[in-house]
Amino acid sequence: MSFWEKLVNAIGNTAGNALSAVVEAIRTVFEGDPETRRKVAFSVAIIALSAKMAKADGIVSEKEVEAFREIFEFPQDQAKNVARLYNLARQDVAGYEAYAERLSTLCITCAANCTVLEDVLDGLFHIAKADGLIHENELNFLSHIGEIFQMSETRFEQIAARHVSAGGDPYKVLGVSPSDDFPTIRRRYRGLVSEHHPDRLISRGVPKEFHVIANERMAALNAAYAAIEKERRAA
DSSP characters over 115-154: HHHHHHHHHHHHHHTTTS---HHHHHHHHHHHHHTT--HH
Q: How many domains would you assign to the chain?
A: 1
Residue-level pLDDT at 225: 94
* 13 DSSP 8-state letter: S
Task: Check if the beta carbon of residue 89 is closer than 8 Å to that of residue 47.
Answer: yes
User: What is the spatial distance between Cα 122 and Cα 75, in angstroms, rounded to a whole number?
Assistant: 23
- Mean pLDDT: which of 40-44, 110-114, 177-181 is highest? 177-181
**Least confident interval from 11-15, 144-148, 223-227:** 11-15
Query: Mean pLDDT across the stretch 153-158?
Result: 88
Q: Which residue has the higher pLDDT, 170 or 85?
A: 170
Task: Name the residue range of residue 215's domain.
Answer: 1-232
The answer, yes or no, to whether residue 124 has pLDDT greater than 80, is yes
Residue-level pLDDT at 189: 94
User: What is the spatial distance between Cα 59 and Cα 100, in angstroms, rounded to a whole number?
Assistant: 21
Residue-level pLDDT at 154: 86
Residue 143's pLDDT band (cuts 50, 70, 90): very high
